[in-house]
Amino acid sequence: METEPFKRYYQVIEEKLNKAFRQKSEIRLAATWIAQCIQSGGWIYTSGTGHSHMMAEEIFYRAGGFARVRPILDPPLMLHADASGSTEIERKEGYAEQLLKDYQMNEKDVFIISSNSGRNPVSIEMAQLAQKAGTKVITITNLSHSKSVDSRHSSGSKLFQVSDVFLDNCGEIGDASIEFEGFSSRVGATSTVIGAALLQAILVQAVGMLLEEGNHPEIFNSSNSDQGEAENELLIEKYKPKVKGL
């Protein structure tokens, strides 16, 4: 009896999660930098273009997430205003510099950048600019996809090549994973599921490291619980003047 499609997708996700979580040294290194960032009063910057912007939102103002997060959520690079237009904008060289001009990154900070293909100029230049400022760059990308295509940046570099550490989401080339006989397109994207799991794992590891050092980081709780809402209000009051979009 043929396995039902939803079960096939579950099997693919389980296999890729197991593979992705074998990147133990990368997870620990990324978590170490984040813990050091929080200990030193730095900021966790995060961004992504297209669907990868969801990775930036995944750790911003999130129950169980760090308060000291500055997401770079630029509407023209997201999907809700002009989805096809965002594809063109993420390919523009020089756009990242304009986007980051209002953010003063330094050696205390980390920058988490997500891009499935890792080939487009905006994400590549964000990484380059952050490194120039002394900021550690952590990226989540699809290594197989990235290696299968040419960079769209004039330098010829891809995102994983301009990162201090990168984590592979272990996705398929083209992201979608499930084939049907007689149907030309694949379905069932995997990058968001795996990327979000890797991100949360890194942050959980970082919290564990901080607690071992006796450092209790500021964490958002669920605003849909009475206690959580009261605690969040204090963090919002403290950080709203410092975090765009909070």
Residue 102 vs residues 37, 111, 242: alpha-carbon distances, Å = 20, 15, 12
Do the domain assignments include residue 246?
no
The confidence score (pLDDT) of residue 226 equals 77
d(CA 155, CA 157): 5
Q: What is the DSSP letter of 2?
A: P
Structure tokens at 22: 């074998």
Do the domain assignments include residue 46?
yes
| Domain encompassing residue 84 | 5-239
Do the domain assignments include residue 162?
yes
Per-residue pLDDT tens over the stretch 27-86: 999 999 999 999 999 999 999 998 999 999 999 999 999 999 999 999 989 889 889 999
Counting beta carbons within 10 angstroms of the beta carbon of residue 237, is it exposed (0 to 12), middle (13 to 18) or buried (19 or more)? exposed
Nearest alpha-carbon partner for 77 in 86, 85, 69: 86
- Average pLDDT, stretch 7-13? 97
The confidence score (pLDDT) of residue 24 equals 98
Residue 227 pLDDT class (50, 70, 90 cuts): confident
Do the domain assignments include residue 28?
yes
Residue 20 pLDDT class (50, 70, 90 cuts): very high
| Strands 69-72 and 44-48, sheet pairing | parallel
Q: What is the DSSP letter of 69?
A: E
Strand partners, 141: 168
Nearest alpha-carbon partner for 159 in 74, 48, 31: 48
Do the domain assignments include residue 87?
yes
The confidence score (pLDDT) of residue 223 equals 85
The confidence score (pLDDT) of residue 18 equals 98
CATH number of the domain that residue 162 is part of: 3.40.50.10490
Structure tokens at 8: 């096939």
Do the domain assignments include residue 214?
yes
As for how many domains the chain has, the answer is 1
Do the domain assignments include residue 29?
yes
Do the domain assignments include residue 245?
no
The confidence score (pLDDT) of residue 229 equals 85
Per-residue pLDDT tens over the stretch 191-224: 999 999 999 999 999 999 999 999 999 999 998 8
